[in-house]
Amino acid sequence: MILKRLSFIAGLLGASFSLIAAEPATVRIGTLATGTVHWEVAAMRHGGLDKANGVVLDVTMLAGPDAGKIALQGGSLDVIATDWIWVARQREKGADYSFVPYSSHQGVLMVKADSAIRTLADLQGKRLGVVGGGLDKNWLLLKGAAQQKYGLDLAAQAEPVFGAPPLLAQQLKQGRLDALLTYWHFAARLESEGFRRLIDGREVLRDLGVNSEMASLGLVFREGWVRRNRAGLEGLLKGMDGAREALCTSDEAWATVAPLSGETRPEVLAALRRGYCEGRITETGAAQAASAEKVYALLRRFGGAGFAQGGGGLPPGVFWSAPAR
């Protein structure tokens, strides 16, 4: 009788553990209202890719990129999207953040369609808008490429103007800037309005001897969180891969997220979709880490003392590698 009872209890416990194992993993993710991660989260939910991959997405809308970093550091979010350089800086300080490549989009240098500016050398003496600050990755790499290819010091021989993307885009339209280095989605909008792409970050990387398909943005999380929630991360990554594919191949899937861009003009929406799909990651793993090593060294060289903080090279563990089960 005792053995039968023990067997019955063991059976109940086994069934309970099976139910627990089958429970979907909750992932707390932060997104920007008009960001592409928000598009993919919406596409995942619309296509049932969250449930199919065993995850429940607890989404927080962020006021800005810095809000996501603060929330991740404070423990109220599990995953955000940001660049690998921030991860490298945090690892230099002893934090355990890690990065999975998400987008290869780099900065884009835009000019008016009829501008006489044809190469970086033509920026000499011109007013150049730069999104971000003086240590922004896109700005440092553009400066390095101009110096290396043309012997031009953009910081000294052009007139850089730093600011927010919408403000600088407006100044370019008004003719108060001669060129603008901006983010890809603002560049896509400008292109749809007749502005011309002078050079983008992929070309800059090629000029500097770096793989042009390397990641700029990725999903970032703590390694400690992954050790406790590996199924959640894997489900999220699979679901986002599926959403990305759907957005680039299915007009119906794209139509569900297009309103999230804040745009209604068909030509702008087409440009945004085209630009988004061009930024999909094609290489991961060791190739990405090797390219990042080169870029990090270049940034330390071009950024001088302002950028060169902490250790000498890219800290190990910046790019997440799944340990064997």
210-233 pLDDT, tens digit each: 988 889 999 999 999 999 999 999
pTM for this predicted structure: 0.87
Q: Are 231 and 109 in contact (CB under 8 A)?
A: no
Predicted confidence at residue 211, as pLDDT, reads 84
CA 256 – CA 86 distance, rounded (Å): 32
**H/E segment holding residue 30:** strand 25-32
Predicted confidence at residue 322, as pLDDT, reads 72
Task: Classify 198 as helix, strand or coil.
Answer: strand
Over 60: is that where the pLDDT of 315 sits?
yes
Over 90: is that where the pLDDT of 146 sits?
yes
Predicted confidence at residue 311, as pLDDT, reads 60
Q: Percent of the chain having pLDDT more than 90?
A: 76
Predicted confidence at residue 286, as pLDDT, reads 83
- For residue 307, name the pLDDT band (cuts at 50, 70, 90): confident
Q: Residue range 141-149: average pLDDT?
A: 95
- 7-16, 87-96, 149-158, 292-301: lowest mean pLDDT where? 7-16
